[in-house]
Amino acid sequence: MCGIVAQFGPRLDPPALRLALHALAHRGPDAATLYVGEGAALGHTRLAIIAPEDGAQPVRNEDQSVIAVVSGEFYEHARLRGELKSRGHLFRTGSDSELLVHLYEEYGDDCVAHLRGEFAFVLWDERKRRLLAARDRFGVRPLLYAQIGETLCIASEAKALFALGVVPRWDLDALFVSLHAQYVPADRTLFAGIRQLRPGEMLTWKGGAAQTSTYWDLDLPLARDAIAPPGAAQTQVRAALEEAVDLRLVADAPLCVQLSGGIDSSVVAALAARRRAEPLSCFTVSFEQSAWDEAALAQATADHIGAELSTLRVSARTLLDALPRAVAQGEGLAVNLHIAAKYLLARHVAEAGYRVVLTGEGADEVFLGYAHFRQDFGVAQGLAATNRASAGLMLAEGTGLSLDGVTRHLGFAPSFLAAKATLGQRVASLLRPDFLRPFVDRDPLLELVQSACPPDAMRGRAPVDVARYAWSKTALPTYILRTLGDAMEMSSSLEGRVPMLDHVLFEAVRGLPLELCIRDGQEKAILRECAEGLVPPAVVERQKHPFVAPPMTLFEPELLSEVLGGGLLQRLDFVDASRLRTALAALPRLAERERIAWDPALCLLLSAALLSQEYGL
């Protein structure tokens, strides 16, 4: 895991590039290097995970004509290295990152098809005077870019682009969408002039002209053939799971697992534990409120697989104290204090001496685990009552914004977007009319799906697959993997790896009959079958519980008043102070369910205020 900065164009600025590298020091505390050539500069901050002694970047090909910087990991590098050596390529380092320049020599832009892992990279072809940059298939690693005059700037995080000269300002169009739909458009950020590569997308730049194109997509099938016997599918999936975990256990640095009470991280931990001679180290977070605490189940899994579990216990005060730094690192809006919990947990793991952590993220997208997917599959009975943690976040709670535009574009309105519509309705009720006036004819939910979902990708597919596609192109890369994942882990120089988002595993699952994922109202059925015997029965049988912290709207009134009534929110020039005071005054009188439903809206605005304060927006 590392940090990337780059400039291309007639005016390179080495002092600013060094400041940008400093801004990314948390992503790579082991080294900071800068290459400056004619019309191209590439910088890198290194977190040494593979080949710590000789894996410095930028990496170059044999004649120095191709130079690249890489963030993340390429797996299967021993096999690929052998194949490339047999074709005459010479390697100077033991780093997996060096694969890129040799694959580019062999395959040109198609080199991305040969890469397996979580990565972002920038490559400069000196002979062709041409840039190639790419982001991994699911968007685990971020890659942002901005044009300043004739110069193209690229970086892992927005704060590095600020150091390169981008003036921090709200992108009002992206902010409008995010305030109403939580997520930014797929190719935008909250900052004016800064865009992000979509998952599975690459960028080329030559002669001052930049172009983006998709090199990989989910490619969900139009129809699925029945598979008989079902055991064959289970064998196929179990083998793909084991391989995905095994690949991510390769590291020349201490490695552990982030463990919750759910089946996803439990399966990852169980498979990892089987491959290690010494007890596996696992980490979890524990909340004061029992309804949101999973520590007991995590401990049960750790005991079952013979792992050592370290539990970080956090209070409401601890979460609120950590929130400003978490938001600043995340560079996005948050709808729950889970962002602070993830920030604190990453710091706890790093302080224990670990540099690599495996997580269970992505299983819900691959195996259809969320409650809203079950709703889109036709399961309705009991969902709201038994999915308290999803209410207002992933399941609609109350009235919402119109979904007519979404329905026209996708063919139906996914349940998670209905939940965002109720969130958007609450947030909109607190915004200033003069802020909303320029957007009176705009549909934020439609704009979100249009940014991520081409109509052709949706036609003829099952509703739950349409929902999976839309979720995997919006919520997954821009929030789950970026704001809650990469940003929180890298804030403590910790590399997160996600076996469940191995694209080979996904390709093994995507064509299976949907009934193998959702069966008799139960989600992730085939994953549960694969997990039998690996993890405790209570974990196998447990319904999906998303990782969320206790809602701050249930905190003690004095603490809530201190946080929300202290004036920070009122300083946002798009928030109506009078409406906000009225809403806050009404909170104590609301039923608990309604207070919980208001939490995402208030947390969203609080994170916007903290982001504005941090970057002077």
pLDDT at 423: 96
Contact 133, 40 (CB under 8 A): no
Query: What confidence score (pLDDT) does residue 570 get?
Result: 79
Q: What is the dihedral of CA 437, 434, 194, 491, to 10 degrees?
A: -130
pLDDT of residue 396: 84
Q: Are 281 and 308 in contact (CB under 8 A)?
A: yes
Q: What confidence tier does 384 reach under pLDDT thresholds 50, 70, 90? A: low
Q: What is the pLDDT of residue 347?
A: 98
* Over residues 501-516, mean pLDDT: 94
State the pLDDT at residue 226: 58
Q: How confident is the model at residue 564 (pLDDT cuts 50, 70, 90)?
A: confident
479: pLDDT confidence band, cut at 50, 70 and 90?
very high
* DSSP string across 228-287: SSHHHHHHHHHHHHHHHHHHTT--SS-EEEE--SSHHHHHHHHHHHHT-SSPPEEEEEEE
Sheet-wide strand order for 144-148: 31-36, 40-46, 2-8, 151-155, 144-148, 195-196
- The candidate with the shortest Cα–Cα distance to 333, out of 536, 475, 523, is 475
122 in Cβ contact with 131 (< 8 Å): yes
In this prediction, residue 459 carries a pLDDT of 82
Predicted confidence (pLDDT) at residue 221 exceeds the cutoff of 90: no
Higher pLDDT, 433 or 227: 433
Q: What is the pLDDT of residues 200-214, one digit of tens each?
A: 999 999 888 899 999
Res 69: pLDDT? 98
């809203």: which residue's tokens?
372
Residue 212 and residue 210: Cα distance in Å, rounded? 7
pLDDT at 34: 97
pLDDT of the residue at 546? 86
pTM score of the predicted model: 0.96
Q: Is there a contact between 336 and 548 (Cβ–Cβ < 8 Å)?
A: yes
Residue 223: which pLDDT band, with cuts at 50, 70 and 90? confident
Residue 387 pLDDT class (50, 70, 90 cuts)? low
pLDDT of 217 > 60? The answer is yes
Q: What is the pLDDT of residues 259-289, one digit of tens each?
A: 999 999 999 999 999 999 899 999 999 999 9
Please report the pLDDT score of residue 290 as a whole number. 87
Mean pLDDT for 28-42 is: 95
Mean pLDDT of the chain: 94
Q: Is the pLDDT confidence value at 326 over 80?
A: yes
> How many CB atoms sit inside 10 A of residue 346's CB?
26
Residue 398, judged by CB atoms within 10 A of its CB (0-12, 13-18, 19+), counts as: middle
Indicate the pLDDT class of residue 566, thresholds 50, 70 and 90.
confident
pLDDT of residue 208: 87
Cα 347–351–352 angle (5° rounding)? 120
How far apart CA 126 and CA 122 sit, in angstroms, is 13
pLDDT the model gives residue 392 = 65
* Sequence-separated (6 or more) residues with CB below 8 Å from residue 617: 168, 169, 170, 191, 611
- Mean pLDDT for 548-553 is 94
More confident residue, 471 or 385: 471
Report the pLDDT value the prediction gives residue 467, as an integer from 0 to 100: 96
Q: Is 594 exposed, middle or buried (0-12, 13-18, 19+ CB in 10 A)?
A: middle
Position 567 scores a pLDDT of: 79
How many residues are given for the chain? 617
Res 452: pLDDT:
96
Judged against a pLDDT cut of 70, whether residue 388 lies above it is answered with: no
pLDDT score for 386: 62
The C-alpha atoms of residue 410 and residue 473 are separated, in whole angstroms, by: 13
End-to-end CA distance of the chain: 29
pLDDT at 237: 95
Q: Residue 385: pLDDT above 60?
A: no
Res 610: pLDDT: 96
SS (H, E, C) 541-598: HCCCCCCCCCCHHHCCHHHHHHHHCCCCHHHCCCECHHHHHHHHHHHHHCCHHHHHHH
Report the alpha-carbon distance of residue 326 to residue 607 in Å, rounded. 9
Lowest mean pLDDT segment, chosen from 121-125, 162-166, 542-546? 542-546
